[in-house]
A = this chain, B = another copy of it.
Amino acid sequence: MTDVNFSLSVDRPSPARPAPSDVPIDMIELLFFAYRDFTSDPDAALAEFGFGRAHHRVLHFVSRNPGLRVTDLLAILSITKQSLARVLKQLVEEDYILQEPGPVDRRERLLFATERGHALALRLMRLQAERIRSALADLPQEGREAARSFLYNMIDPDQRADVAQLIGHNKDQAP
């Protein structure tokens, strides 16, 4: 933490802007802080391996969706092929992911997590799961469903069906 000193607690004479009443600023900021801390646990663990957040995302979706194609992964992550290249290459070289030609279409290089890969993916997942579990703990069942719906509805409408199908491996539910 070298030079970063924490203090916060802003009591300054802040006249704070009129804040248009139709803007849910609190939700905007909460989403920022929630995501900031949500990613902090795996980021710390990944540093041990010399990996970054990009490796995590790739590994996660491959682990969850064995046989994923490169093209699918690009669509999921909303990045370009070139951005994926180095990260994927590293994961393959270090034996977290392996590629196999598609049995029906041999142009495809289907992606699978190795045992090592699954193990790391699971470890990272547990870190995030723990945070989520405790965040949902106080909520009644309807509250949990509401939180889930909220997140789902934050996704671009034209992407929702794909996402629903993708995560449908685990639990089923549309909106």
- A residues contacting B by CB (< 8 A) are 2-10, 12-17, 19-20, 22-38, 40, 57, 60, 63-69, 71-72, 74-76, 78-82, 110, 118, 122, 125-126, 128-129, 131-140, 142-156, 159, 162-163, 165-167, 169-171, 173, 175
- Given A65-B10, A126-B23, A132-B154, answer yes or no on A4-B74 (Cβ-Cβ < 8 Å): yes
Bound-state Cα–Cα, A40 to B145, Å: 25
How far apart sit A9 and B69, CA to CA, in the bound complex (Å)? Answer: 11
Taking a contact as CB atoms closer than 8 A, the residue among B8, B40, B68 that contacts A75 in the complex is B8
Whether A36 contacts B78 by the Cβ 8 Å rule is: yes
List 5 extra interface pairs beyond A8-B75, A35-B154, A143-B149, CB under 8 A.
A14-B68, A24-B129, A25-B167, A31-B38, A134-B153
**A interface SS class:** helix
Q: How long is the Cα–Cα vector from A31 to B152 in the complex, in angstroms? A: 8
CA distance A70 to B90 in the complex (A): 37
Smallest distance from the beta carbon of A131 to chain B beta carbons, Å? 6
Contact A12 B68 (CB under 8 A): yes
